[in-house]
Amino acid sequence: MDTTTFTSLAVLVLAVAVLASSFDRRSKPLERRLARLERKVDLLMAQLGVEEPADPRLAEVDVLLAEGKTVAAIKVYREATGAGLVEAKEAVERRMR
């Protein structure tokens, strides 16, 4: 590998690292803002006495858990809620208790 190729590769890796870091810095404030908005909506719903209707697919999650099909339950939970993999896994594990 000659010096030019090595230098080009190093610059490319550095550029990718900088872009990834920049994206992370921008996404954290958005996540915090979204969490604040969700808390406010929850407070408003509680004040008005309104409950979010339960998704019928969550009952399917419980059935799958009873059958020992944890992976399938996580998949259905993700489809029903739009949750990420880690969040869905944690939520399904909480339902198992």
For the stretch 19-77, pLDDT in tens is 777 777 777 888 899 899 999 999 999 999 998 888 888 999 999 999 999 999 999 99
DSSP, collapsed to helix, strand or coil, labels residue 52 as coil
The pLDDT value given to residue 55: 85
Closest alpha carbon to 94 in 67, 69, 61, 72: 61
The model's pTM is: 0.52
For residues 7 and 43, state if they share a domain: yes
- Give the CA-trace dihedral at 37, 41, 43, 48, to 10 degrees: 160
For residues 90 and 62, state if they share a domain: yes
Whole-number Å distance between alpha carbons of 28 and 47:
29
| Residue 88 clears pLDDT 90, i.e. is over it | yes
Domain range spanning residue 59? 54-97
Domain's final residue, options 52, 74, 89:
52
Question: Any idea which residue has 């419980």 for tokens?
Answer: 62
Tens-place pLDDT, residues 32-43:
998 999 999 999
Whole-number Å distance between alpha carbons of 63 and 96:
11
